[in-house]
Amino acid sequence: MLDPRLCRSFLAVAETRSFTAAARRLGVGQPTVSQHIRRLEDAAGGLLFARDTHAVDLTARGQAMLGFAQTIVDTEDRAARHFRGAEIRGRVRFGVSEDFALGELPDVLHRLRRSHPLVDVELTVELSDTLAQRLRAGQLDVVLGKRRPGATRGRLLWREPLVWIGSAATVLEPGQPVPLVQYPMPSITRQVAVECLERAGTEWRAACQTSSLTGLRAAATAGLGVSLHARSLIPADLVELPAELGLPDPGDIEFMLLARDSAEEPAVALAEFIMDRVSGLHPTGRP
């Protein structure tokens, strides 16, 4: 009844809430994904998704299908690993920028565990430039971090706008320096924020410096100041500030993947997994 191919398409749509993004992740055309969903809905006896021009949401039947589809896909993957022979095993030292760590990382690690259950992860969360330095020093195997547009290091995963964020009650006093909540150097977003304001001739002050995203969220939520953040990874308790506040456009930021040239099999497996998983959720290029 439930063909694993159909289940994979169903899970991809359920996770991305987009037939286009699901097709990109699976490496097939959107008509193929739509056909798979129709066939699965025929087998299930009803609609799995409620669709309109703006959203794709699971129906009650679709919610019930999630567990069954995931079990079927996991079983097929385990069988493939068993009959393929030795599984990938070992430890990989993985560095991640903190904004991604508190956003999509748990889901990526969860799926890595299902795909490669014998790969152990030693996780480091830090600023992107610090992670890149540690990789060059041989202390990390794989890094998922940020870079400025035009930089060449690493493999581009996706590009998106940087936006000014604060609390819903954030107010900037006319004629007063813009209060910044920022990471310490060598934070890329701190550098961009300062350069952006200075190019615009806008005065600023360091209202709060913190080494963690948790601290940044607390300070911004409390109204201490504003900060820069990738639009898709804005913390739930903060908001993108409106253009009416007069803050200059900070441009884009790129997320990239770095891996050691001499990386062993677990690190290669993690890098390939991230490329497949993350690139499917974030198309390369500015939205």
pLDDT at 285: 47
Alpha helices in 168-241 (DSSP H): 188-199, 213-221
pLDDT at 287: 38
pTM over 0.85: no
The pLDDT mean for the chain works out to 85
Task: Look at residue 280 and tell me whether its pLDDT is greater than 60.
Answer: no
Section 181-198 average pLDDT: 91
Task: Look at residue 156 and tell me whether its pLDDT is greater than 90.
Answer: no
Q: Contact 94/122 with Cβ under 8 angstroms?
A: yes
Integer angstrom CA distances of residue 58 from 6, 11, 17, 64? 16, 11, 9, 9
Task: Look at residue 251 and tell me whether its pLDDT is greater than 60.
Answer: yes
Q: What is the distance between the alpha carbons of residues 92 and 139, in angstroms, rounded to a whole number?
A: 11
Section 265-274 average pLDDT: 76
pLDDT in tens, 91-116: 889 999 888 877 778 877 877 777 77
pLDDT-derived band at 281 (thresholds 50, 70, 90) equals low
Name the residue with higher pLDDT: 229 or 284: 229
Name the residue with higher pLDDT: 118 or 222: 222
Name the residue with higher pLDDT: 284 or 172: 172
SS3 for 162?
Answer: strand
Section 256-267 average pLDDT: 78
Task: Look at residue 195 and tell me whether its pLDDT is greater than 50.
Answer: yes
Q: What is the distance between the alpha carbons of residues 27 and 31, in angstroms, rounded to a whole number?
A: 12
Q: Which of 111-125, 134-148, 175-189 comes out lowest in average pLDDT?
A: 111-125
pLDDT at 81: 65
Which residues partner with 125 through β-bridges?
96
Q: For residue 146, report the phi and psi dihedrals to the nearest 5 degrees.
A: -110, 160
Percent of the chain with pLDDT over 70: 92
In the chain, what are the domains? Answer: 4-84 (1.10.10.10), 90-155+254-281 (3.40.190.10), 160-252 (3.40.190.10)
Task: Look at residue 32 and tell me whether its pLDDT is greater than 80.
Answer: yes
Determine if the peptide bond prior to 266 is cis (ω within 30°). Answer: no
Integer angstrom CA distances of residue 128 from 30, 34, 142, 228? 34, 38, 12, 15
Name the residue with higher pLDDT: 100 or 187: 187
Instruction: Give one DSSP letter per residue of 64-75, joined into a string.
Output: HHHHHHHHHHHH
pLDDT-derived band at 228 (thresholds 50, 70, 90) equals very high
Q: What is the distance between the alpha carbons of residues 120 and 134, in angstroms, rounded to a whole number?
A: 19
Count CB atoms within 10 A of the CB of residue 51: 15
Closest CA to 98 of 126, 122, 58: 126
Of all helices (H) and strands (E), which one includes residue 230? strand 227-230
pLDDT-derived band at 254 (thresholds 50, 70, 90) equals very high
Amino acid residing at 189: T
Alpha helices in 88-168 (DSSP H): 98-101, 105-115, 128-136
pLDDT in tens, 34-84: 999 999 999 888 999 998 777 889 999 999 998 899 888 888 877 776 666
Of all helices (H) and strands (E), which one includes residue 273? helix 265-281
Of all helices (H) and strands (E), which one includes residue 31? helix 30-44
